[in-house]
Structure 1
Amino acid sequence: MPSKQFGGRISEKWKSQYRLSPNWKDGSFKNLFETRTAVNFRQLPGILCKQLKGHSEGNPTSALPICPLNKMYFLETGEKAKFVWYGHSVVLMQLHNQTILIDPMLGDDASPIAPKKTRRFSADPLSVIDTLPEIDLLLLTHDHYDHLDYSSISKLKSKVKLYYVSLGVKRHLVSWGIEVNKIVEFDWWQTKAFNDIQITFTPTRHFSGRGLTSLSKCLWGGWALKTDQENIWFSGDGGYAQHFKEIGERLGPFDIGMMECGQYCDDWPEIHMFPEESVQAALDANVKVAMPVHWGGFNLSYQHAWYEPAEKFSQYAEQYSLDYVTPSLGEVFDINTKTGHWWKKYQ
C-alpha cells in the first residue's frame, strides 16, 4: 500500500479539471517564464554528496524555542492585523476578526519519504497545534513536503472550517479525509471574497510534486489578502522574475509582505530567491514592511548557514531603506512591532 504521505493519486477526473487551466500544458502546470526546475543528471552525484555533508552551520547550536501563544491577546479585536510565525513558512494571522493559517507544516521531518530525515530546528513542533484557536481559513501554496504535511493536516482537521488551496492540492486533502465541500481551489489571479477579505492567488516561479509521478501536477503560488484597512501578501516559494512587479501593480501596495528567503542554492537558482532577490522582489511588489520566511525551520540547502537568510535579508533591507520585521518563533507581532536579531543567540 502506498504511503499516505504521497497524498492523492492523479486520476483522469482530476486531470480533466486541470486541463481547464491556462497554466496546464502538455500534461503538467507550467511557469510563466522559462525555469530550470531539475538539476543536470551529471551534477546529481556531487549535489547529493554536498547535501549529505551539509553546511558546517546548517543547524542552530540548540533547539529553537517557540513562544507559547497568548491566545487571549492574539484573538483581541484590534485595528491592525496580528501575526505569529512558527518557523519556515508557517504563519498564523488574525485579520478582520478571522483566524487564518498559512502552510501549516508543523511536522518534525520535511523529507518523510527520503532515507535521510530533515529534522526541524524546534522540538515537538506538532504540539503547537494543541495551542491554536479554531481556524476560520487555512491557506496552502503548493504540495511540497515542507509546506503540505500529512501529520499536521490530520491533527488540524477538527479545528479548520475552510481550506483555500492551489489548484491540484484538493486531491491530497480529500485522500486524507478532508470533506470536499470544505476545499476551494485557486488558479493564478483568481480572487474570492471571504468574510469581507478579498483573497487572491498570485503566481510564483517554482514547481510542485510529492513523488516522481506527480511533478508539477499541482499549481504553486502565493496569497494576497485585502480588507478595507489592510493589504497583506504572502509571496510563496519561487525564484525572482518580472512577475513581482505585476503583482505590485495589480494588487499593491502591501502593508506587509512575507517574502520567501531561504533554502537557496547556486544549483537551483531559479526556484528559490537569494536574500538580495527577496528584498528586490518586495520593492518590485510595492511592499511597505517586509518579513523573511522559508527559514528558521529546516536545513534544506547545503549552501548557507541556517541563520544566513535573515542576516543577509536584514542587511539588504537596510541598504535599500526597506522596513522589515524579524519576529522570533511564536511571537505575536504586527507591522509596527520592533524586532531584533534573535538568531544570534543560537549561532
Structure 2
Amino acid sequence: MSFRKQFGGKLTKEIIAQYEQSPNWKNGAFENIEPVDMSMGLSKMPGIIYKQLSNRKVRQPQKPLPIQSFDQEAFLQNSDQAQMIWYGHSVLLLRMSGLTILIDPMLGSNTTPIAPMPTKRFSENTLQLIDAFPEIDLVLLTHDHYDHLDYASIEKLRPKVKQWGVALGVKRHLEYWGVAGTTITEFDWWQMMTIGKLIFTFTPTRHFAGRGLRDRNKSFWGGWVLESPQEKIWFSGDGGYGQHFKEIGQRLGPFDFALLECGQYNDDWAEIHLFPQECIKAALDTGTKNIMPVHWGGFALSYQHTWQEPVEDFVKAAEAAQLHYTLPRLGEIFNIQDQITEKWWLDFD
C-alpha cells in the first residue's frame, strides 16, 4: 500500500475556487459556526504524546471485541422500520426504505497509518466484513479524518457502491483512490438530496478536518439526517457542543432516533468532541427521545478515559434525563424501537 495514497487527493486552484463558493469558507479554509481553539501549543505536545502512549492497557479491551456474523437475509427483509448494524466507532450499515446505506465505513485495522505508532482497532479482521456486505446504494461520509475515511476500506468497498454522499472537500480523496467522480455528490451544510423515498440532509457540527500538515480545514465536516415517510434518523457526526444543535432540531427535528458521537473526548480538545453529558444535551436540544452512543468501541484515541467510560457515563446521563437508549453488540441487527440495555462490554475488562 502506497504511503502517499493514505493522504488522499491534492488541492488545486480549481478545487479551491469551488470551495470559495461556500458561505462557510473564510480566510482560506472552512470555518465553524462558533470559533474553535485548536492551538494546543508546542510546549504541551511532549506531555500530550507521553499521555497518549501511556496506560494503553486500560484504554483498550483485554481481548478483541467480537463482531456478529452478517445475516443478509434478516438485514434485507422488507420492513417499515430501518434495520441497522453498528460495527464499532462510527461505522453504521442500515437498510431504510429499500436502500442499503453505509456511514463512515472505516473498517481498517489502524486509524493512524501515517504515524510511527499504530492505533489498533479493538476488533480483528474487520476489512473482511466487506466481503459479506450486499450492494451498497449509498455511502455517506461525515469528514476526512483517518478514523472515518480509510483508504483500504474504500479500495475494498469501491466495486460494491453505487453512489457516494460526502462532505465538501472529500471528493478529491475518493477520485484519487479510483472512485468515479460521476458517482460522488458533495454537500455543504443544509444541502439535501433525495433518493427514492429518502431525503438526506448534511448538518452542521463543531469540528475540523484534514489528512496532512497542509490541508487543515481544506475539507468540511458535518452529520447526516435521513428522513423516510416513517422515520427521521440523525447521525450527529464528530463535534463539540454548540448552538447548532438547537438549529438542527428546529429545522429538521424532532428525531425518532439519534446516533450521537460519544467517545475520544478530552479536556485538551473539549470543543471538538462531545462528552457523554453533552450528548444528552444535544438529544434534548433536538427533541430526540431514542438515542445510541457511537464513536466508542473501536479505537483508543483519547488518553483521558478508559474504553468503557463513554458508554457507562452515557447510560447514567440518559437515565437521569429519562431518555430511551440502545446498546447493541457489534454486528447485531437492531431498529429504533429496540432498547438493548445489557452491559456486554463488561465481559471484556
Same fold (TM over 0.5): yes
**Separation in structure 2 between the aligned mates of residue 143 and residue 149 of structure 1, nearest angstrom:** 8
The Cα offsets for residues 248-284 of structure 1, whole Å up to 9 and x where unpaired, read as 1110011110000000001110000110011111111
Q: 1:341 aligns with which of 334, 338, 343?
A: 343
Residues 37 and 206 of structure 1 are in contact (CA less than 8 Å); yes or no, is this contact kept in structure 2?
A: no
**Separation in structure 1 between the aligned mates of residue 332 and residue 222 of structure 2, nearest angstrom:** 26
The Cα offsets for residues 290-339 of structure 1, whole Å up to 9 and x where unpaired, read as 00000000000011000111111011000000111111100000112231
The Cα offsets for residues 203-249 of structure 1, whole Å up to 9 and x where unpaired, read as 00000010010100110000001111110000000000111011011
Segments of 5+ residues of structure 2 without an aligned counterpart are none
The reply on whether 1:131 has 2:144 as its aligned counterpart is no
Percent identity among equivalent residues? Answer: 54
Structure 2 match to 1:246: 247
Task: Measure how far apart 1:52 and its partner are.
Answer: 1.2
**Separation in structure 1 between the aligned mates of residue 339 and residue 237 of structure 2, nearest angstrom:** 24
Task: Measure how far apart 1:41 and its partner are.
Answer: 2.0
Letter in 2 for 1:310: V
**Separation in structure 2 between the aligned mates of residue 153 and residue 26 of structure 1, nearest angstrom:** 31
3-state SS, counterpart of residue 237 of structure 1: coil
**Separation in structure 2 between the aligned mates of residue 61 and residue 53 of structure 1, nearest angstrom:** 16
3-state SS, counterpart of residue 213 of structure 1: coil
Structure 2 match to 1:264: 265
- Scaled by the length of structure 1, the TM-score of the pair is 0.98
Task: Measure how far apart 1:285 and its partner are.
Answer: 1.1
**Separation in structure 2 between the aligned mates of residue 295 and residue 143 of structure 1, nearest angstrom:** 18
Structure 2 match to 1:149: 150
Letter in 2 for 1:20: Q
Structure 2 match to 1:208: 209
Matched ranges for 1:293-332 at <5 A? 293-332=294-333
Residues 126 and 38 of structure 1, relative CA distance in 2, 3 Å threshold: farther
Equivalenced residues, count: 347
The Cα offsets for residues 91-148 of structure 1, whole Å up to 9 and x where unpaired, read as 0000001000000000000000000000000011101101111100000000000000
Letter in 1 for 2:230: Q
**Separation in structure 2 between the aligned mates of residue 33 and residue 138 of structure 1, nearest angstrom:** 28
Residues 324 and 339 of structure 2 are in contact (CA less than 8 Å); yes or no, is this contact kept in structure 1?
A: no
3-state SS, counterpart of residue 249 of structure 1: helix
Task: Measure how far apart 1:36 and its partner are.
Answer: 1.3
Matched ranges for 1:14-29 at <5 A? 14-29=15-30
Matched ranges for 1:92-107 at <5 A? 92-107=93-108
- Scaled by the length of structure 2, the TM-score of the pair is 0.98
Moved more, 328-337 or 87-96: 328-337
Residues 3 and 114 of structure 2 are in contact (CA less than 8 Å); yes or no, is this contact kept in structure 1?
A: no
**Separation in structure 1 between the aligned mates of residue 57 and residue 8 of structure 2, nearest angstrom:** 34
Segments of 5+ residues of structure 1 without an aligned counterpart are none
3-state SS, counterpart of residue 337 of structure 1: coil
The Cα offsets for residues 11-48 of structure 1, whole Å up to 9 and x where unpaired, read as 11110100000000111100000111231222111111
Letter in 2 for 1:344: L
Residues 260 and 294 of structure 2 are in contact (CA less than 8 Å); yes or no, is this contact kept in structure 1?
A: yes
Task: Measure how far apart 1:2 and its partner are.
Answer: 6.0
**Separation in structure 1 between the aligned mates of residue 129 and residue 5 of structure 2, nearest angstrom:** 22
Structure 2 match to 1:279: 280
Residues 88 and 297 of structure 1 are in contact (CA less than 8 Å); yes or no, is this contact kept in structure 2?
A: yes
Task: Measure how far apart 1:56 and its partner are.
Answer: 4.5
| Root-mean-square deviation over aligned CA pairs | 1.0
Letter in 1 for 2:277: E
Letter in 2 for 1:22: P
Residues 83 and 2 of structure 1, relative CA distance in 2, 3 Å threshold: closer
Residues 90 and 104 of structure 2 are in contact (CA less than 8 Å); yes or no, is this contact kept in structure 1?
A: yes
Runs of 4+ in 1 over 4 A off after TM superposition: none
3-state SS, counterpart of residue 48 of structure 2: helix
Letter in 2 for 1:29: F
Residues 30 and 220 of structure 2 are in contact (CA less than 8 Å); yes or no, is this contact kept in structure 1?
A: yes
Structure 2 match to 1:255: 256
**Separation in structure 2 between the aligned mates of residue 56 and residue 68 of structure 1, nearest angstrom:** 27
